[in-house]
A and B are shown apart, each in its own frame.
Chain A
Amino acid sequence: MKKVKTIGWLLVCCSLLLAPGLGGAQEKFPTKPIELVVPFAAGGSTDVLARLVAKFAPKYFDKPLVVINKPGGGGVTGTEGVVRSAPNGHILYVGYGSGHDLVMPHFQKLPYKTFEDLSSVCLLSVHSVVIIIRADAPYKTMKEMIEWGKKKEQVTASVSTKAGSVDITFQAVGKTTGLKMVTVPFRGGAESVTAIVGGQTDCGGNHPSEVISHIKAKRLIPIAVALEQRDPAIPDVPTFKELGYNVVTAGSVKGVAAPKGTPPEAIRYLAERFKKVCEDQEFIQAMKDIGQPVMYKGPVDFAKYLQDGYEQYGKLIKEFNVKLE
């Protein structure tokens, strides 16, 4: 029976960690710990972002921020959970602007409306798509790779998932440069990095946070960024535009959202406090170190930014005729 008792205590502890406190009714927001729901597995870039924010939050928030992972359905499951939760500002979605928000709705109907059912709180960071090659590849720049590739039957690129921001970027690279790009989807960013580090494909595309250590180790060379401007995480890498190719995407957007109907004063409070976190010098440095540059935008600007990103992906998908089959 000893075992049962030990386990019982463990469970009590676990449930205490999991359960949000029981708050009083008419107090000032926030009345209890705020849940940051990450709709992806623990350990991914969104998860690390949320956990870093939670780590710095106690300085600026009146209640602690608790990270909860609800992976599944490419992010849809966890996001739907937030959409359906009580709109009081205590349950937030971190990662607003990810692939299932900006890209997936172009391919399939989601169980909620990405923009109508969620209120934007603020933008935290934007992850660009950076094209990487192995340091010992026979080409060292985008231009050299294109010349090399034109003599080949095909150029292979490792991507984290089919029809994600990286895949669409490569479709655009293929169309604008005339290369026969073949994207090889892996299971997530970490596996696609492993593939390019191991030289399984000719090039790869990732978010800087996933490859920054390999770039520092000089195993991988970044050759182009698919953003409008250069990415502050890797400021030396030119954009496609600078190189003369019209490949621009919104990257992967990482912001915070609350369920529709959350009181405006709660949104205001949250946006304000997140802004303070984003202005914390230590936080900025910590984010820079992991390759996720801080980029804050308030509720209104962020909403517009998302809408623009969504439309841009829609345009690219149509233009390059990307399909799931």
Chain B
Amino acid sequence: MSDLLGMFQGLMNGFGIAFTLNNLMFALLGAFLGTIVGILPGLGPAATISLLLPLSFKIGSPVTSIIMMAGIFYGAMYGGSTTSILVNIPGEAASVVTCIDGYQMALKGRAGPALGISAIGSFIAGTLGVIGLTFVAPPLAEFALKFGPPEYFSLTILGLLMASLLGGTSILKGLIMIVLGLLLGSVGLDPISGAIRFTWGFFMLQEGVDFVTLAMGLFGIGEILYNLEKELKTELVTKKISHLWPTLKDWAESKWAIVRGSFIGFFIGILPGGGAVISSLVSYAVEKKISKHPEEFGKGAIQGVAGPESANNSAASASFIPLLTLGIPGNAAIAMIFAALLIQGVQPGPFLITERPDVFWGVVASMYIGNAMLLILNLPLVGMWVQLLRVPYAILAPIIVLFCCIGVYSVRNTVFDIWIMGIFGVFGYLLRKLDFEPGPMILAFVLGPILERSLRQALLISAGSPWIFFKRPISGTMMGFLLLFILFQIVMTLRKKWSKGSS
């Protein structure tokens, strides 16, 4: 009990810190900047925080600057869905899934409800995530530590299985895309032996193809090339825009998807590495499985937007847990915040909460406020974004290309990546012509390296015995699920075939 009391007291003190005019202003600034960079394709929160880092020393106290940086990070998660829905460009790996139904909704004139439900879902999930961060951070961080190579392997296999279900019409085409993605993910240094693979002599390829480069090419440029073929229409979306806001029916359909997505995102999002991506995949798969109309998925089902968007937002909150409680940064943007804390003389880790309670609770409290700010900031923007679809495509397309180039360049400050993006743009165009879905490919590209690394690490640890995947409780449980799932699918398929044959 005294523990809980201490937490409340800490949180209250945190609110005291977060509610000073100065900190409120910087939280708002962070949320605002985050929304903008989230929307701009390619320009991610990590790059933004790194640009603002020198400025943050001038702001003064570490609390204030971290409040702003955290705002940029979770603000970007709000904005990330916007380009996925409007123009089919995922700004980050965790929004790839949103493209599938989000863009379809936009094509049907339902961009408003899609954006609205993402903002509301993001708010609910973000807040639930912060509540989790407040009360269960330390024990969950210990749980995350139990995730070693065998657990990552099992989880990633599970994720890939989910990705194969995204394939759309043909399972074979989905599998081809996954294999291509895995191959593409193997470009660069071999994660275990350090040997150079498929780099064609380019040093820039030693660390592989960058996600942003691939996503902008495959989705952004590919889509534009494809649209160029069509007769030039004045608007991308010809059908009239029916509702600006989600209707009560939309809300009824997506409220539980939001709640489920929040929980999935929170628990998987704690894991450093692929947490957020896998959580969005799992959420999508869960929604499709339990839906009464699974056939609507891929054609603009609102749950397919609400679930994954909520999952990636609560994953964003959860990713602060390993940083604040263990001093372990889980992704690039969090690593920047980690560095900022270090430079300010604050050591993130187990002692943060006792040594610098002002930083810990101040930042946590500011996240409650920031999420509310983001909702207020984002809802009015929905109307503006929907208007954007009225911009003639002849103007919109070059702007998208320009922003893709800037985004890709900003990742590593090199023109080389823009060329790579161009190549993948042409490839993306071909995929559309041949009716392949690029989603599974890019997800396999993200998950492939994690899969390979964890498999080989686990086998090194076990001296070559594959039993390690079944012996360890968490990994064994996931493997069990996996086998059951595959068995279930096989039985279902056979039964279908059998009943067809007999009738």
Contact = CB atoms under 8 A, between A and B. Distances in A.
A80 B53 CA distance: 25
B203 A71 contact: no
B189 A42 contact: no
A277 B3 CA distance: 45
A86 interface: no
Contacts of B53: 42, 51, 67
Nearest to B403: A7
A70 B203 contact: no
B194 A161 contact: yes
B339 A184 contact: no
A235 to B, nearest CB: 18
A163 B190 CA distance: 12
Given A70-B414, A74-B206, A185 B192 contact: yes
Given A7-B40, A190-B329, A48 B412 contact: no
Interface stretch (B109-117, B171-179, B282-290, B340-348): B340-348
A175 to B, nearest CB: 18
Interface residues of A, number: 67
A265 interface: no
A154 B203 CA distance: 35
A6 B414 contact: no
A72 B204 contact: yes
A197 B145 contact: yes
B335 interface: yes
Interface string A1-28: 0111011001100100110000000000
A266 interface: no
Contacts of B347: 212-213, 216, 289-290
A151 interface: no
B204 A77 contact: yes
Contacts of B350: 213, 217, 219
B149 interface: yes
A48 B351 contact: no
Interface in B403-459: 403, 406, 412-414, 453, 457
B326 interface: yes
A50 to B, nearest CB: 10
A3 B50 contact: no
B461 interface: yes
A239 interface: no
A51 B414 CA distance: 21
A156 interface: yes
A244 interface: no
Interface in B325-361: 326-329, 332, 335-336, 338-339, 342-343, 345, 347-351
A184 B461 contact: yes
Interface residues of B, number: 59
A42 B50 contact: yes
A179 interface: no
B189 A74 contact: yes
A67 B55 CA distance: 12
Given A190-B335, A197-B145, A197-B328, A77 B414 contact: yes
Nearest to A290: B342
A154 B406 CA distance: 49
Given A11-B406, A213-B327, A54 B54 contact: yes
Contacts of A71: 207, 412
A112 to B, nearest CB: 10
Contact of B148 (A73, A195, A214): A195
Contacts of A137: none
A52 B339 CA distance: 10
Interface in B31-62: 36, 40, 46, 49-51, 53-54, 57
Contact of A67 (B54, B326, B453): B54
B339 A17 contact: no
Nearest to A201: B461
B421 to A, nearest CB: 15
Interface string B242-279: 00000000000000000000000000000011000000
A48 B57 CA distance: 13
Given A41-B332, A41-B335, A200-B148, A217 B463 contact: no
14 contacts: A42-B332, A69-B50, A72-B207, A80-B203, A153-B463, A184-B149, A184-B461, A185-B191, A198-B145, A213-B327, A214-B327, A216-B351, A217-B349, A219-B350
Interface of A: 2-4, 6-7, 10-11, 14, 17-18, 41-44, 47-48, 51-52, 54-55, 66-74, 76-77, 80, 107-108, 111, 153-154, 156, 161-163, 182, 184-187, 190-191, 193-195, 197-201, 212-214, 216-217, 219, 286, 289-290, 324-325
Given A67-B54, A185-B192, 17 more contacts: A42-B49, A51-B343, A71-B207, A72-B414, A73-B207, A74-B189, A77-B203, A161-B194, A185-B191, A191-B272, A198-B146, A199-B145, A199-B148, A213-B351, A216-B347, A216-B349, A325-B195
